[in-house]
Amino acid sequence: MPELPEVETVRRGLQPVLEGARLAKVEARRPDLRFPFPERFSERLTGRTITAIGRRAKYLIIHVQDGPVLICHLGMSGSFRIEADDDSETPGVFHHERSKSTAHDHVVFHVVSAAGARSRVIFNDPRRFGFMLFAEELPETHPMLAGLGVEPTGNTLDGVLLASLLKGRRSPLKAALLDQRLIAGLGNIYVSEALWRARLSPLREAGTIAKPAKKAREQSERLAEAIRSVISDAIASGGSSLRDYMHTDGSLGYFQHSFAVYDREGEPCPRPGCGGHIERIAQSGRSTFYCRTCQL
Ligand SMILES: [Zn+2]
């Protein structure tokens, strides 16, 4: 499932093709994905110019001139790819099984850049948990986005803010970090990674790092820093894979990561001198990977 860094990678990949381009034609090849497409979906976008492509949590937000704001979510298996719109095959080898299955190409945006270059931006989603909706007003007031917490990117999330979000919370730290009303777009993988970097147990009570004591203040600082760095490192590795994909099949948003703990059950803890092993436990029905020796 794409997490925030993948969505940000998709945004950065789409930006040079979409921003400033005109939507010459928009094809929705079925009536729905996870939700029905908005009424007059193609009609309301066709002929309009895309002014900006942003992101909030895991939502892509596409602004068009004098039109609705398009909110896209990749769901479990959604991906975009870019092809030259000259009906020739994209050069390079299709190493991505995903993009071969054109049966799952559900939306095709035919775009023309300001310089006249034609491209197809194709949304492929085998499991169809993705969706596209319109926001008529400011997208942040849309019901999907209205209750979202702080972004884990940039400098907004610091130790003081994190402590204020977690103060008095009795839930396990991992569960609190997954609560989208507190921090938006942080998913299962990066929570495990951030807790390992911060040397904090996923099982400890969330409020324990939000106490006035110096130790708690250091812990909340460490965790805020770990969250920001784990996300920014993943975005940076997405950026390098973006350049690779551009030269192959044009698929955006899925790339190989190297994780310290995620999916590494039984392996030695990678922290120098720790000597512990990575365990997998279930929390709220989801896997958590951590090292009980160095994460306290
Ligand atoms: Zn360890």
Estimate the crossing angle of helix 214-246 against helix 159-166, to 10 degrees.
Answer: 110
Give the pLDDT confidence of 51-79 residue by residue, as tens digits. 999 999 999 999 999 999 999 999 988 98
The whole-number pLDDT of residue 255 equals: 60
The catalytic position among 2, 38, 68, 139 is 2
Q: Which of 11, 55, 56, 58 is catalytic?
A: 58
| Ligand 1 center–CA 225 separation, angstroms | 18
At 136 the pLDDT is 87
pLDDT digits (tens, 9 = 90+) for 134-175: 998 888 889 999 999 999 987 899 999 999 999 999 999 999
CB 245, CB 251: distance < 8 Å: yes
Q: How do the domains of the chain map onto residue ranges?
A: 4-141, 159-290
**Catalytic residue flag (residue 152):** no
Burial of 77 by CB count in 10 Å (0-12 exposed, 13-18 middle, 19+ buried)?
A: middle
Closest to 45 in 3D by CA, of 111, 91, 90: 111
Q: Which residue has the tokens 């977690």?
A: 166
State residue 247's pLDDT score. Answer: 45
Considering the entire predicted model, what is its pTM?
A: 0.87
**What fold, for 159-290?**
Helicase, Ruva Protein; domain 3 (1.10.8)
Instruction: Give the pLDDT score at 173.
Output: 98
CA of 282 to the centre of ligand 1 (A): 18
User: Which residue is it, tokens 């884990």?
Assistant: 152
Instruction: Let me know if domain 4-141 sits in CATH 3.20.190.10.
Output: yes
- At 127 the pLDDT is 92
DSSP assigned state of 52: E
Q: Do 19 and 51 meet the contact criterion of CB atoms below 8 Å apart?
A: yes
Q: Which two tokens stand for residue 30?
A: 């079925």
- Ligand 1 mean position to 293 CA, how many Å? 5
pLDDT at position 253: 58
The Cα–Cα gap between 274 and 39 comes to 57
pLDDT lower than 50: segments of the chain: 88-99, 247-248
Q: Do 4-141 and 159-290 agree at the fold level?
A: no
